[in-house]
Amino acid sequence: MKSLDFGCWALTGCLAVAILAGCGAVPLSPSKGQDDMPPPIGAPGPMTQSSATAAHADRGASWMLPEAKNEDLIYADSSSGADTYVFSSPSGKLVGTIVGGAQVQGSLCADAHGHIFVTGLQNEGSGLGLIYEYAHGKTEPVRVLQEPGVIPDGCASDPTTGDLAVSAWNWASGVSGVNIYRKARGVPSYYEDDEIIDYAFCGYDDKGSLFINGQGSGSAMYFAELPKGSSSFTNLRFSKYVDFFDMGQIQWDGSHITVEDFSTHAIYRVRVSGSNANVAGITRLKKWDASQLGLSWIAGDTVLVPTGVQDSEIGLWKYPGRGEPTRTIGTPGSVFSVAFSPTQRR
């Protein structure tokens, strides 16, 4: 992930490339959600891994090994294009590649059913934000939400309702906010915070309260909560300094809401009390190549980190422990965001 500062925000990830012309973009319509857009991605029939890989290379087609649907899966989005790579867990075997979604990708998130959401832009100059939803082990989207005139970035699924929150930046107004799609479909409800200029990432806790980070006045990260059932954000005083260039993923780890800090190679475990967000614990990831940056994903007692020890790999660290990675998974190219989708066992 590369952070760029050109007066709009330090927009992150692959979207940074698309936004280079964004501050002077032609005004577009406000954000609207529209589901069931005709899916542009096709899925081939069953094939061996070697033949699938060859076919993908020859035709640029999406593919998924039949075994993937019965395995825990790690999804990783390409930093340089529209591909989303799929790996079996814990083996790290490449079992699929999804091609042809958003041409400029933002980030990944997952819901309680193992569905994966991919945010991004249709292409670098379109100004059409897209959110693709994929079922576990599938290459064709269940649904595609459209956000005309909006650049979607971070996303999160509410475990209590299935609602989908997407932090977004509007091309025309230059205003940033959060769109929340009820049950991850339809037209979203829009929320913004008067003190936050640009929103970066978002995450729900186990009660359905939404947390967001972003840029306000000054260089420090702003952190806020949209309590369950509320229509307005509560701004929180974060107990540690995090530069807005270095703020990353927000997640619930089972006990705490967490915030990623690239500059310290750390994930902060946060306890919220009133208007205070106090760091209750820190997981520092040694040998994490945070120079490339990347949005991590906490999966039980493991945290997955794009770029790992070096570019073009995913690193796996013990969580909430600290220290060096327990292993790495090589990727076909550099990746920016990862998400975990468990097998949907009956």
Query: What's the CATH number where 290 sits?
Result: 2.120.10.30
Q: What is the pLDDT of residue 308?
A: 78
> Rounded distance, CA 284 to CA 305, Å?
12
| Alpha-helix residue ranges (DSSP H) falling in 66-182 | none
- The candidate with the shortest Cα–Cα distance to 86, out of 342, 47, 95, 110, is 95
Q: Which residue has the higher pLDDT, 291 or 176?
A: 176
Residue 8 belongs to a domain: no
Domain contains 290: yes
Per-residue confidence (pLDDT) for residue 55, from 0 to 100:
35
Mean pLDDT of the chain: 82
The model's pTM: 0.83
* Alpha carbons 59 and 195: distance in angstroms, whole number: 48
Domain that holds residue 233: 15-341
Tokens 């309590």, located at residue:
227
In a domain, 207, yes or no: yes
pLDDT on residue 310: 78
How many Å apart are CA 293 and CA 307, to the nearest integer?
A: 7
* pLDDT exceeds 90 at position 170: no
Q: Sheet holding 116-121: strands in order across?
A: 104-110, 116-121, 128-134, 143-148
- Round the CA-based radius of gyration of the chain to a whole number and report it: 19
User: Domain total for the chain?
Assistant: 1
Confidence of residue 15 (pLDDT cuts 50, 70, 90): very low
Here the tokens at position 327 are 């292993």
Domain annotation covers residue 10: no
Token pair belonging to 282: 């820190």
In the chain, the percentage of residues whose pLDDT exceeds 70 is: 79
Q: Which pLDDT score, from 0 to 100, does residue 126 have?
A: 64
At residue 46 the predicted structure's pLDDT band, cuts being 50, 70 and 90, is very low
Query: Residue 2 domain-assigned?
Result: no
Considering only the C-alpha atoms of the chain, give the largest distance between any 2 of them, rounded to a whole number of Å.
56
- If pLDDT is split at 50, 70 and 90, which confidence band does 309 have? confident
Q: pLDDT (tens digit, 9 = 90+) per residue, 251-300?
A: 999 999 999 999 999 999 999 999 999 999 999 999 888 777 789 999 99
User: Residue 6: inside a domain, yes or no?
Assistant: no
